[in-house]
Structure 1
Amino acid sequence: MMKKVPSHQLKQGAARWLIFSRSKLLVASGDTQPPVTDASSLPFLAAYQQDVYQLTPLEAHLQEEQPTFVVDMGAEAVDSDEWEEVSLRNVLMNTPVGAFSVVGRAWQYVHFLRTHRFCGQCGSAMHKIDWEMAMQCQQCQHRCYPRVSPCIIVAIHDNERILLARGVRHRETNMYSTLAGFVESGESLEQAVHREVFEEVGVRVKNLQYFGSQPWPFPHSLMVGYLAEYDGGNIVCDEHEIDDAQWFSLDALPDTPPKLSIAGQLIDAVIKQLS
């Protein structure tokens, strides 16, 4: 969770600073990593001293080398050549796995606080609860927690081939990846795999094998990965979601996601399994 930090505690040495401006992260010019420094090196934060949060480790027993402070500047920006805003995706793709988790979790909390300022039940102002990550309405007592949206992601193989697709949004990058989609209400993860695969590329799958999961902060997904075998059908792309889908030989793969992502890990698992 995140807890507010009294201003006098911000002078206690170096910390990792996750400073969000709009939907981007503030870093030193030419860098791709959040700054690790003391508060005195960030004079532009003077206006936000009452809105600094500390991100606590998911494992409460772990001790961090330095604390992680989170600041949301909203729509404001820093007018300085020493700092620049970089996309969250760019930061995440250039960080170690551990830092990926920290930055992603901080952004999901910031997004939650931004989008739950008012009660969805009665419209009154919401207030953050001190002892857990939640917003509560003092008028009707409605309480909200950060949203987590489960998504399935699946690598489909057939003997020595793997089915990969290029999404409509990735047409310009020409990157092919595994199939993925949100789980619908009342649906099991396995049902979602079968439905999404058939809807997006028109084929059937069998012998689902759970692979693993990964939080994906765009903006609040939890990717649940599977391996699956091809069970029939011809590729017919959903033109609203998929620009192209093909069977690829394992020794002639197109551009694919990095192994930092679960999509890249699934592709690598298929290669190892079929080699």
Structure 2
Amino acid sequence: MSELYFLASGERLLGTDQGPVILSGPEMNKLNTVAVLKVGEVDSKHYFVALLSDEEPLKDILKSDLVGLRSLLALVQSEDEYCLLSTASQLVTWFYSFKYCPRCTAPLELHKDERAKVCHQCGHHQYPRISPCIIVLVRKGEQCLLAHAAKFASGRYSTLAGFIEAGESAEQAVHREIMEEVGIKVKNLRYCFSQSWPFPHSFMLGFMAEYDEGEITPDGIEILDADWFDPDKMPVLPPRFTIARRLINQFLEEIGREIEPDSDLFFPAE
């Protein structure tokens, strides 16, 4: 099997508007690396992410041409590509975020067999962090609830989402987040699908819910505006690679509406 390598400098995957930088095994022999982490296997090819040392120049790549992870994800053409990029990004974040043992503060080292770091002083194993979250589309007849968060670009609206807190079930988190962010109650929760979300290490559990009672009241901190939207009068929506867009697409299909061409490219709404 052939080996292919994503490149990372610091905590950033390297890529341009043409896609991520990927090198072959022989090309990697010329580079100085801090670590090489296994990402996954697709179509009989082994993928790794190579973390370049600080002294390694970005050969043949202009820093001004580099783009962020969201831009790279927007270019992917399959679910396999998305998962490879998501995994590579999260592994890079994990590698640099956990340098020392959280129990005894001794330096952590990569485990020789597992995807983990190990403390040789106290024996603690540190695995890549995964933060579970819920994301939910609320329906009210043939309308859906979409919100504009403080962190969003101007005009963009999306579904509601939040982290699952200690001791909560995913369903409890759905009810709590919706009440906290927009002040309404929901019912008839239905789990739909999930998505690994590398910003920086979230795992999104997607739900549909039906409106029960209450008036929409944005919290004014995380959510600046929220409203019920008709399928024919949608605002600017999340990009196609997001689970939020997948939930919106499923809603539209369930009420018999067509989705935009290519908006459901590789994550089918069913």
Instruction: Note if contact 2:206-2:247 (Cα within 8 Å) is conserved in structure 1.
Output: yes
Alignment partner for residue 55 of structure 1, among 7, 26, 39?
39
What do residues 34-62 of structure 1 show as CA deviations (whole Å, max 9, x unaligned)?
Answer: 3354533x67x5222x73333233xxxxx
Seen in structure 2, the aligned counterparts of structure 1 residues 273 and 77 have a Cα distance that, compared at 3 Å, is: farther
* Distance verdict in 2 for CA 1:274–1:32, change over 3 Å: same
Asked if 2 retains the 8 angstrom alpha-carbon contact of 1:20 and 1:74, the reply is: no
Aligned 8 A contact 2:6 2:23 in 1: no
Aligned twin of 2:19: 32
* 2:17/2:66 contact within 8 Å kept: no
Task: Give matches, 1:178-189, under 5 Å.
Answer: 178-189=159-170
Deviation at 1:163, TM superposition (A): 0.5
Matches for 1:179-258 after TM superposition, within 5 Å: 179-258=160-239
C-alpha deviation, 1:90, in angstroms: 1.0
Any unmatched runs of 5+ in structure 1?
A: 1-11, 58-62
Residue 100 of structure 2 is aligned to residue 139 of structure 1: no
C-alpha distance in 1 between matches for 2:13 and 2:170: 33
Give the residue type in structure 2 aligned to 1:46. L
Question: How many Å separate the matches in 2 of 1:212 and 1:204?
Answer: 22
Matching residue of 1:103: 85
**Separation in structure 2 between the aligned mates of residue 199 and residue 18 of structure 1, nearest angstrom:** 40
Partner of 2:106: 124
- The aligned counterpart of 1:5 is none
Q: Which has the higher helix share?
A: 1
Instruction: State how many pairs are aligned.
Output: 253
Q: Is the 8 A contact 1:18 1:34 kept in 2?
A: yes
Question: What residue identity is the alignment partner of 1:88?
Answer: L
Q: Could you tell me the TM-score, scaled by structure 2's length?
A: 0.86
Q: TM-score, normalised by structure 1?
A: 0.84
Q: What is the CA deviation profile of residues 40-87 of structure 1, one whole-angstrom value per residue up to 9, with x for unaligned ones?
A: 3x67x5222x73333233xxxxx6343212111366674455454321
Which position in structure 2 is the counterpart of 1:22?
A: 10
TM-aligned CA distance change 1:69 to 1:76, over 3 Å: same
Are the equivalent residues in 2 in contact too, given 1:21–1:85 (CA < 8 A)? Answer: no
Q: Of 137, 143, 155, which aligns to 2:137?
A: 155
